Structure 1
Amino acid sequence: MKAAVVELGRHDWASLRCGCGRSGAHVPSSFTALLQARTVQETIGHTLDGHVERESMLFEVAPYAVPVILAALTEELPSFVRSHFLGLLCHLVTGESHMTEVEAGLPDLEVECRAAVGEGIWLIYREAASGDRETALDILEFADSDSSRFEHFRSVVTAERKKRRGTF
């Protein structure tokens, strides 16, 4: 049993607006397909782009997707799935509510997403230390409320990367 699948079951996705114009009822099946994929071909038609966000414009399903992604990042994932989830998280913390969401009374979805990432901040720090460093640091720049921790961590990671490359 995967923690992300358990997290998916906590929410009534059908009651949430999706970026494709339908309800979010289909979002769990896309997540599940991504979590089960072992080849890139198995992900075709199952990305979350255009559903949770579209061109960094966020929809009601976005803050609910964050804990699912964080739970997924605790698992062994193929690099292309992990990369998709990290890229999506980056859009969720740097984006803003789509105008339809603002009109529906949800003007701060990015704030909700950042707060949700904050609950799993050390997963993103782990990615910055040993995974997709650049994307993780981009996420942390927006999501970590402790700016001094972030700046310290970024300077250490940057120095370590330069040391490995032999440049100073």
Structure 2
Amino acid sequence: MELVDLEIGRHDWATLYCGCLGFAGHLASRLSRLARATTEEEASVDGIHALTESQSIVTATLPVVSVALAALADDVQEPARRRFAELILGVLCSDGQELTPEFDGRDVLVECEDMVRGALWLLYREVLSATSVGTGSYAFEILSIVENDKQRLELVGTLAGQRIAADLRHPPR
């Protein structure tokens, strides 16, 4: 969990806003607990999805996506991997952000997409090494949002075979 812990430690969570409409101080411990989850029950950490359940971008969003990508690069067990991939996908599918002073003109959703785009090969590895259809499918759906090379995406969709949901194997051209 070194990568996850390192990434969690880089952020001042108490100064960031969460989707629960409060400060995000609670997210650091919950993200850490999620990264250490080995069962489905442990991976259903309360409060993690408040970030995306609000369907809007908050100041904690970019750090959470950064931690989620670190988790996919770290030695995290399958139930947690799936939740982190689901979390990234939820952010990328959100309704965007409200124009509020704390963003100072930034488009955090675009920044999240750029961050995730920088981790394409990590996501491709996740698709092709997934031990569950859920994790592979989430990773593939994330790629379908951020990958500019649609030919490569289609080839990987075919190569992934049973590792992703059937409706994702042959994306529309």
Stretches of structure 1 that go unaligned for 5 or more consecutive residues are: none
Determine whether 1:133 maps to 2:130.
no
Cα RMSD of the aligned pairs, angstroms, is: 2.5
TM-score by length of 1: 0.80
Q: Amino acid of the residue matched to residue 75 of structure 1?
A: D
The 1:134–1:36 alpha-carbon spacing in structure 2 relative to 1, beyond 3 Å, is closer
Mapped to 2, the partners of 1:7 and 1:35 lie a distance apart of 12
Mapped to 2, the partners of 1:134 and 1:44 lie a distance apart of 19
Mapped to 2, the partners of 1:56 and 1:146 lie a distance apart of 27
Determine whether 1:4 maps to 2:4.
yes
Mapped to 1, the partners of 2:4 and 2:15 lie a distance apart of 19
Q: Which residue of 1 aligns with 2:74?
A: 75
Q: Which residue of 1 aligns with 2:83?
A: 84
The 1:56–1:128 alpha-carbon spacing in structure 2 relative to 1, beyond 3 Å, is farther
Q: Amino acid of the residue matched to residue 9 of structure 1?
A: G
Contact persistence 1:96–1:109 (CA under 8 A): no
Q: CA deviation at 1:98?
A: 4.1
Mapped to 2, the partners of 1:130 and 1:55 lie a distance apart of 31
Contact persistence 1:4–1:72 (CA under 8 A): yes
Mapped to 2, the partners of 1:117 and 1:126 lie a distance apart of 14
Q: CA deviation at 1:35?
A: 1.6
Give the SS at the match of 1:96. Answer: coil
Determine whether 1:108 maps to 2:107.
yes
Sequence identity of aligned pairs in percent? 28
Determine whether 1:26 maps to 2:29.
no
Stretches of structure 2 that go unaligned for 5 or more consecutive residues are: 167-173
Mapped to 2, the partners of 1:118 and 1:87 lie a distance apart of 16
Determine whether 1:97 maps to 2:96.
yes
Contact persistence 1:34–1:46 (CA under 8 A): no
Mapped to 1, the partners of 2:64 and 2:139 lie a distance apart of 17
Mapped to 2, the partners of 1:30 and 1:140 lie a distance apart of 26
Map 1:32-43 → 2, pairs under 5 A = 32-43=32-43
Mapped to 2, the partners of 1:111 and 1:135 lie a distance apart of 19
Map 1:41-80 → 2, pairs under 5 A = 41-43=41-43, 45-50=45-50, 52-80=51-79
Mapped to 1, the partners of 2:139 and 2:43 lie a distance apart of 22
Q: CA deviation at 1:74?
A: 1.8
What do residues 127-147 of structure 1 show as CA deviations (whole Å, max 9, x unaligned)? 111213321111001122333
TM-score by length of 2: 0.78
